[in-house]
Chains A and B, each alone.
Chain A
Amino acid sequence: MALDQSFVGRTYPPTPAYEVGREKIREFAEAVGDPHPAYVDAEAARALGHADVIAPPTFVFSITYRAAGEVVQDPQLGLDYSRVVHGDQKFSYVRPVRAGDRLTVTSTIEGIKSLAGNDILDVRGDVHDEAGELVVTTLMKLVARAAEEA
């Protein structure tokens, strides 16, 4: 079923702050098997010009994905979440995410398309720090595959 085009441009309220913990960064870096010292050693991170340990580039997705949950599960939008697959993902960084950041996410529906019965939803996440500065913008394309004919 085609999604309601009037949702394009809709922005959802910012999420409560997510505090980025250094042990969470370590856990994530270990899970992706990345031994870079800037993720676990503050000295190594500082030697590269960072204020504290930084997070791997895709770390922030865990936060923006949770924020987008509110959008994709908005009953008025009518997305069949059981048929959704992740189509595209993009990140544009102003600076890397680092330990101690308190991040809020503002999600916006960038686009809605219907292609061959598939619903395609683009959700932007603007991630700000406690000072209100933009840290990273994420773009997630979700594709809800057409339901099979009964």
Chain B
Amino acid sequence: MTAKVSYGSVEVGTELPAQTFPVTRAALVQYAGASGDFNPIHWNEKFAREVGLPDVIAHGMFTMAEAIRVVTDWAGDPGAVVDYGVRFTKPVVVPNDDKGALIEVSGKVAAKLDDNMVRVDLVALCDGKKVLGMSRAVVRLA
């Protein structure tokens, strides 16, 4: 594990570079294939509406995979992530157009722990609403 950020260089409150991740219908089909999650709520709007959703929604695990990139891109080594957890609070609705939806993710150091580890609290928004709650990662820095 070789993070590029040193423990000594961060403080509680240090902000990580925020990122915006687009999610289109094509991305959801690709994610379904790669992950093996073929639940039709992620690609079939007729089915999604029948079960009470406004439209096709992104896989929660897709959103979770995007959000951690704010941590892994910052730390430099994805293998430096020690813990990662989220609550799926609101679905990311993905319209059937070429733009899809945008997931905006920001994060800041919330605590400095032992053994060069820090806890990062993440905020993931879509249309200004939180789509992940209790979104926290522990990462081991250099």
Contacts and interface: CB of A to CB of B under 8 A. Distances in A.
Interface of A: 24, 27-28, 30-34, 36, 38-39, 47-50, 54, 56-58, 61-62, 65-66, 85-93, 95-96, 139
B65 A32 contact: yes
B119 to A, nearest CB: 13
Contact of B79 (A48, A61, A66): A48
A91 B78 contact: no
B85 A58 contact: no
A28 B86 CA distance: 20
Q: Which 4 A-B pairs have the closest CB atoms?
A: A90-B85, A31-B34, A96-B79, A32-B65
B34 A85 contact: no
Contact of A48 (B1, B30, B87): B1
B79 A38 contact: yes
Interface of A is mostly: mixed
B66 interface: yes
5 contacts: A33-B66, A47-B2, A89-B61, A89-B85, A91-B85
B108 to A, nearest CB: 19
A49 B78 contact: no
Interface residues of B, number: 34
A106 to B, nearest CB: 20
B36 A62 contact: yes
A130 B103 CA distance: 37
Contacts of B21: 33
A28 B68 CA distance: 15
Contacts of A139: 85
B65 A36 contact: no
Nearest to B87: A88
Given A31-B35, A33-B21, A61 B61 contact: yes
A139 B31 CA distance: 21
A88 B34 contact: no
Contacts of A28: 34-35
A89 B77 contact: no
A30 B65 contact: no
B84 A91 contact: yes
A58 B64 CA distance: 7
B15 interface: no
